[in-house]
Amino acid sequence: MKKLSVMLMLLCSMSAMVACNDDDDDQDTMIPESDRMFVMNAADGGMFEVKAGEMAVAKGDSSKTGMVMAGDSMSVKSFGQMMITDHTKANNELKTLADKKDVTIPTTLSATKQKMLDSLSAASGTAFNMMYTKMMVSSHQETVSLFEKESSSGQDADLKSWATATLPTLKHHLEMAQMMHKP
């Protein structure tokens, strides 16, 4: 009986050690709530940019705008394609980081972003082009602000570094969207 008691105590101690080790592993991947919210908001914005870009490629005007880029003008369709390419790359990088941090990113748009996409879907022709470029200005202003905040005050080093590295592209997108959107 004494041996059984000792074995049970030893087994309980080992179970407690394993549980403590599991908790330590969780501590390595835990990130502060502010960084977690950054991941969620960045993922939502990135998905929106890709979906709106797909819509721009399908429905946008292919004639050149007044915006000059490297000696050539850019159309709503070509801007939309750039959004698909650049934001898909950023979304994939964010997913890799989120997986490393054990953060599950959303796979569907937030209600707010979905409503914006639905209103864009209902437009066509010149109205679509104007609405799309206006949304791109607004969306990129919001995104640049989000990434600047993470870049300056993020607590997770990996996310902070990624936000800092991604900011120049986002700022460039904003500048281009502002040049395209001439109300």
The rounded percent of the chain whose pLDDT value lies above 90 is 72
Q: What is the per-residue pLDDT across 87-133, written as a single tens digit (0 to 9) for each?
A: 999 999 999 999 999 999 999 999 999 999 999 999 999 999 999 99
Q: How confident is the model at residue 170 (pLDDT cuts 50, 70, 90)?
A: very high
- Per-residue model confidence as pLDDT tens digits over 19-63: 444 444 444 458 999 999 999 999 999 999 999 999 999 998 877
Q: Which of 78, 75, 76, 79 is nearest to 64 (CA)?
A: 75
Check whether residue 103 and residue 69 sit in a common domain.
yes
Q: Which residues contact 183 (CB under 8 A, 6 or more apart)?
A: 130, 134
Rounded Cα distance, 149 and 153, in Å: 6
Q: Is the domain of 16 the same as that of 81?
A: no
pLDDT of residue 105: 95
Say if residue 124 is in the same domain as residue 168. yes
**Predicted confidence (pLDDT) per residue in 136-157, tens digit:** 999 999 999 999 999 999 999 9
pLDDT of residue 1: 56
Give the separation between CA 129 and CA 177, rounded to whole angstroms. 11
Closest CA to 90 of 1, 178, 162: 162
Q: Is the pLDDT of residue 167 over 80?
A: yes
Q: Report the alpha-carbon distance of residue 167 to residue 181 in Å, rounded.
A: 21
| Nearby residues of 131 by Cβ (< 8 Å), 6 or more positions away | 119, 120, 123
The answer to whether residues 59 and 4 belong to one domain is no
Task: Determine the pLDDT at residue 2.
Answer: 57
- Whether 64 and 150 map to the same domain: the answer is yes
Higher pLDDT, 17 or 82: 82
Give per-residue pLDDT as tens, 71-92. 345 789 999 999 999 999 999 9
Residue 72 pairs with which residues in a beta bridge? 69
- Check whether 4 has a pLDDT greater than 80: no
Same domain, 174 and 153: yes
| pLDDT the model gives residue 64 | 56
Backbone angles phi and psi of 69, in degrees to 5: -135, 115
- Cα(87)–Cα(100) distance, rounded to whole angstroms? 20
- Show the domain range for 98: 31-180
Over 50: is that where the pLDDT of 135 sits?
A: yes
Same domain, 14 and 68: no
pLDDT of residue 74: 78
- Per DSSP, 43 falls in state H
What CATH number did the domain enclosing 164 receive? 1.20.1260.10
Q: How many domains is the chain partitioned into structurally?
A: 2
Report DSSP state, residue 71.
T
